[in-house]
Homo-oligomer: A and B are copies of this chain.
Amino acid sequence: MSAPSYAPGSATLIDIRSFSDERGALAVVEGESDIPFMPRRLYYLYGSDPSRTRAHHAHRAERQCMIALAGSAEVEIDTGRERRTFLLDRPDRGLLLEPVVWRVVRMGDAASVLAVLTAHDYDPDDYIHDYDEFRALVGTP
């Protein structure tokens, strides 16, 4: 299987391979195959307050794949060219985020789990926390 291609600054929904039988479902994400990078980290959000949003940043180099493993999450993205809101609400769908994309995440409820595979180790210098700086970087349409 070849890795999906994408444009920089993009947000792309992908299908995730899932196999069901009488025992239940198993879904799998292979690095550099199902997603275009090898994961170095897995992080996940859970026990969230759905009345609050989080993220509110972009990354300079970080690449991510977000998957709602339980419940749902709304991911509002801004690439500089467009704004879109993705509802992630099934374990066999992922959202690939390529730099540089501003994102705001709202979890569906306290039982929702959003898993995020990342291409890089955590690096505080990779974050763009200032929206004006983000706009300057991607240009204003």
Given A29-B43, A41-B31, A42-B42: A91 and B113 within 8 A (CB)? yes
Query: Interface size of A by Cβ–Cβ distance < 8 Å?
Result: 37
Inter-chain contacts of A23 with B (CB < 8 A):
48-49, 52-54
Residues of A within 8 A of B (CB): 20, 22-31, 38-49, 52-54, 69-70, 91, 107, 110-111, 113, 115, 117, 121-122
Number of copies: 2
Contact A24 B43 (CB under 8 A): no
A107 to chain B, nearest CB (A): 6
Inter-chain contacts of A22 with B (CB < 8 A):
49, 52
CA separation between A72 and B76, bound complex, in Å? 30
CA separation between A79 and B122, bound complex, in Å? 35
Contact A24 B47 (CB under 8 A): yes
Inter-chain contacts of A54 with B (CB < 8 A):
23-24
CA separation between A41 and B38, bound complex, in Å? 8
Contact B111 A42 (CB under 8 A): no
Contact A24 B107 (CB under 8 A): yes
